[in-house]
Amino acid sequence: MVTNPIHPAKAYSHLWTYQPSTKTVCYDLALEHEQVDPLTLRVKIRQGVKFQADVANGRELTAEDIAYSYTRFPVALTKGSQVNQIQWGWIDKIETPDKYTVVIKQKNPFASNVISLGSSAFAVVAKEVVEANGGDLMKVMNAGSGPYRMVKREPTGTRYERNPDYFQHDPPSPTYVKEGPYIDVWEEAIIPDPATIKAKFLAGELDVLTVVNIDRLVADELGREKGVKVVKGPANGHLVMQFDNFKWTDKRHRQAVWMAIDRDAFIKNLYLGEGLYGGPTASEFAKEGYGLSQDELKKLQPFNPAEAKKLWQESGGAQAFPTVKMVTMQAIPIFATATEFVKKQLEQNLGAKVEVEVVDPATYVARAVAGFAEKAPKPWDLFIAWELSLQTIPDYNALAHYVPVGYGAIFGNLRPDSPKSETAAFAVKMQQLWAAQAQELNPEARKQKVQEIVRTIHQEYGPAVPLPVPEFQYAAFRDRVKNYPEKDFMYANAGTGLFRVQDLWLDA
């Protein structure tokens, strides 16, 4: 099987994944789990699971390996990782009463603990490999017990081959079949140019196209191709423009930026009319009550260029920001197009001078986290991004960008220890609101608390700007690909999307 995106999750084992379409926990290493009390989660794991042959001499994976792996998360914070404290900050300590039992002691109740554990971030690694490489797993190709072994990693792509010593899922679980995985070899081509990706797919050199590369027009075109199937589902994503909260301490500056953006034009031009106002919680969550309706969002996000310009001028926006600096990359096209759209809006509607720095992906990530360790301002003022690590819980969706324990601190300088008193107070308030909803175990009460934090974001015009999002996502695959996860493909990195299911197969 040949695809253009890359994701290493297939080389590792996890306790489980989570299938959003059915709200099902799909066991991988786990056999059962029990929430003993609000602060204790007990998990029983399979016996006889072994690390890959070249990892820790192929020894058995035990509860101690899970405990060790889950203590490594703080190290990832400064590496621009998709891991942040919303996923793991609720864990106090991990006990291992025997080789096959994991007991997670929680700092506080967390309504999304089980779903969070389904994230690809909770991969289990061998301590020996980590320590032998100074904690840097980029130095090795394999460190886990997963269904595939990486055998090639080059600038042009990667190759994974089926792990011959992989354990059987007995009993099986949804997407984890007893004799899986069915596919023997998985090749991933790193192709930065969308036109080239499409051409290779049409030529039969790629089996799958992902959501990043397909809009409605491309989907319609591909749907007319022989041997190609196109699927469509709710996007359920987010797009955010982050403020550097060390600088945007004047609420009037933030409000001016919010009101200067024509979101309807954004949707028309960037999404061909198939878009929604950003929540910031995603649309599918909002439909369930974990967010606001589109009608309310449109009232809270008005386009008013005259008022925006007046606020900008009266608050000294041009003096505070003689040049508004933005950073983007072209590897993910929506980042570059959204940044250019916002640039023109701010120039036209505020009279601001805006400069955009276009960088490579590695530099883009480095720019995002710059200044965190030093408690220093960012080298930019506005930064557009999204994040696809986990789209299956409300508080980890776009809310991750609005609270300190998510990306708010490391990305947006929204930190309780900020040298800016206004920013510190705002950070404390957002953290308290987030904690209140995260620790609420009653679903209906939690919905109300999620709505409260969303309304506060709109009232404060920050700490970031929710931008419009696609209403739908599309994926295309060649008809030799069977059992494609049509109802969950949009959750590719998080749960039972493309990269972590084991019941895909190819019709040769």
Confidence of residue 388 (pLDDT cuts 50, 70, 90): low
Both tokens of residue 34?
A: 């029990």
Residue 73 has phi, psi (to 5 degrees) of -60, -40
List all residues 6 or more positions away from 328 whose beta carbon is below 8 Å from its beta carbon: 335, 336, 339, 340, 356, 357, 358, 359, 364, 384
DSSP H or E segment with residue 422 = helix 421-438
Partnered with residue 35 across adjacent β-strands are 41
* Confidence tier at 387 by pLDDT (50, 70, 90): low
- pLDDT tier for residue 152 given thresholds of 50, 70 and 90: very high
Comparing 298 with 215, which gets the higher pLDDT?
A: 298
Residue 215 predicted with pLDDT over 80: yes
CA 440 – CA 456 distance, rounded (Å): 18
Mean pLDDT across the stretch 472-498? Answer: 81
48: left (phi over 0), alpha (psi -120 to 50) or beta: left
Q: How many CB atoms lie within 10 A of CB 135?
A: 10
Q: Exposure string (b/e) for 93-111, b if CB count within 10 Å is 16 or more?
A: ebebeeebebbbebeeebb
Burial of residue 314 (number of CB atoms within 10 Å: 0-12, 13-18, 19+): exposed
* Residue 150 DSSP SS3: strand
- Residue 319 is predicted with a pLDDT of 97
Token pair belonging to 39: 């602060």
**Which residue in 292, 245, 231 sits closest to 476, CA to CA?**
231
Tokens at 427, concatenated: 């950070």
Give the residue-averaged pLDDT of 89-96: 96
Task: Of 3-12, 191-200, 263-272, give the range with the top mean pLDDT.
Answer: 263-272
pLDDT of 328: 97
Q: Is the pLDDT of residue 129 over 60?
A: yes
How much is the average pLDDT of 147-167? 93
- How would residue 103 be classed by pLDDT, with cut points 50, 70 and 90? very high
Q: Would the pLDDT of 212 be above 60?
A: no
Average pLDDT over every residue of 347-368:
95
Q: What is the pLDDT of residues 421-437, one digit of tens each?
A: 999 999 999 999 999 99
Give the predicted TM-score (pTM) of the model: 0.90
Phi then psi for residue 455, to 5 deg, are: -70, -35
Token digits of residue 468: 């419009």
pLDDT-based confidence at residue 222 (cuts at 50, 70, 90): very high
Domain range summary for the chain, segments of one domain joined by +: 2-194+472-506, 238-470
238-470 shares the fold of 2-194+472-506: no
Looking at domain 238-470, which CATH architecture does it have? Roll (3.10)
The percent of the chain in helix, strand and coil, each rounded to the nearest 5, is 35, 20, 45
The tokens describing 234, both together, are 């709710």
Q: For residues 145 and 53, is the Cβ–Cβ distance under 8 A?
A: no
Q: How far apart are CA 202 and CA 172, in angstroms?
A: 36
Give the span between the Cα atoms of 347 and 343, in whole angstroms: 6
**Is the pLDDT assigned to residue 211 strictly greater than 60?**
no
CATH number of this structure's domain 2-194+472-506: 3.40.190.10
